[in-house]
Structure 1
Amino acid sequence: MRIGLSLPHIGEQATTENIREFAVRAEQSGWDSLWTGDRMLYPINPRTPYPGSPDGTLNPQARRVFEHLTVMTYVAAITERVRLGVSVLILPLYNPVLLGRRIATLDQLSHGRVTLGVGLGWSEDEFDAARSPFRERGRVTEETIGALRAVWGPDPVEFSGDHHTIPASVIGPKPVQDPLPIVMGGFSPKALDRIGRLADGFTPAIVPVDGLVDMVGRVQQAAATHGREHLPTVVRANVLLTPDDSDLPEQGRRVATGSWNQIASDIHRLAAAGIEEVFFDLNYVPGATDPQNQWDVARRLYDIGRNVDACS
């Protein structure tokens, strides 16, 4: 099972120096991938609750977020081997031609190391700011995926849809990878079917391990229904350690939360379920504003993850 890390591009720990040291250190230490996330706004009076927390509020760390594709471009220039991913970019907020060119350029600059994770989004405030129709985000996402693949495909590029139109044009560069992998997140039955039908992989998060494994099975079933082969899974694990290393109740416990024993158990269960990759977001662990605290946690996770491979 491949293992990765989220970069410290969120919160007070997000600095040029921390991102650089973290990326270089991770590559030198043998991690497989580095990841960012997408956050446009921290709404003061949000119209929609955040689905990733019990009380519906965003973590205050999200008040300061370095723009993720800019961070990835920077990290591409200071690394050579580690894979670069985003999980997830809120696809309906982006113009597919501009985004397609940015991703293709990043893939060229990194010599073919990019994985593009996409999702529908949840924040009506962000959709308002981007002037994108919130209620149509599923249809916009599907159309944007088609437009992106057209942009990355042979010239002349031409695309016509309800939301995006590309006149016959030459658009370059093309990505190094053919195809450049698009992995998609989602929770609902409709979203899981969409992933099985359109995406190159699945990137779930913030659910208990049993629910996660169940969703992976439903995505694979959807892929088979649509005549497609097995889709790889990249799990985003937002690490939350209990301050005294005590166990959390198992009922409803999300992946990679609780004590070290619980987190180690989660990692082993993901590997046993055939999950291809898991990456750990350390931006919310206790003491995250101290980069050394993040790295101490990262080293322990690395030992657990590599031990899974040694035991398999």
Structure 2
Amino acid sequence: MKALVFNGPRDIRYEDFQDPERTIDNAVVMQVEKCSICGSDLHIYHGDHIGTTNYEADQHKFCVGHEFIGEVVEIGPDVHDLKVGDKVLAAGGTGCGTCSFCRTGQVWKCSRETAFGLSDEMNGGQAEFVQVPNADRTLMRIPDGVSDEQAVLLTDALATASFGINNTGLKPGQSLAVVGLGPIGLLGIELAFLRGASQVFAIDPFAARRAHAEKLGAVAFAPGKEAVGAILEASRGGVHCVFEASGASSAVRSTLPLVKKGGALSFIGLPQPDVALPLNHILYKGLTVRAGIAPVPNLWEPLIPLLQTGRLKAKGLFSHEMDLADGAEAYRIFDAREESVIKIMMNVT
């Protein structure tokens, strides 16, 4: 098969890769139809750290990507809820499927839980085919009324945005600042207004992303002291909650001045080892801080009706559509933030 394959930092190639064999009884093989690049994929692309893995060090080749939809083409004997021909979307990661946590819907607590496309332990879905373990819990048939674009967002970005906004504890009538206006931050703005936010402020260095945030109803600023001052004035001393959706050290540091005493900070961006928050500032402000990796399948149930009824739009985020064969260029454009890129959809079949 053809796939996007990690060959080292900034060296992702469209090349031949061994077809996946179904080696796990609770797995299926999917034929991928569409996939996309996530901001966290850039950590691999840059040779950064994710968890204990240093992608600058020597790595075996593996298929990248954890956001993908497609069709089930082969089923293992321990798969009970799916059939060949089902059109499905995949959660960005999964667990073993057999431990007590997986069996009770707490996959994120599984000791073997991992994301697709992080290593050759579980190859990713920026490929023509992919094996999906723990398929009954990792895959969902694409619901009626959900577009392919929305289905791709449900694999990670939309669920993660919902998780992050939930973690702020935002209540109707409260104010929120979103730091980092990639797809997750922009989706967070839409979700915050659905929760009844009275004011949403948005911070990002890229004008196109700020413009998108303003179309959603936020007041957007470029990073800097002027932005902090304007937000503090407009919110009368600070926002109730901050949703940080970048993971960059400058973005993480910017959250503390924005939030009022007794407020909340929510972090979902993957930080590098040198990113930290001063505990004394958190203590003296009496802040609640939450962070984590979204348990994606657990977020689907509340999100899908919002999409089906049109209350949640989740539209306009795919600024580019390309073929998988052009994946190396897609990574370059996405990394360079060229052409006002927000998110790139790649067609596989």
Q: Is TM more than 0.5 here?
A: no
Larger proportion of helix = 1
Larger proportion of strand = 2
TM-score by length of 1: 0.30
TM-score by length of 2: 0.28
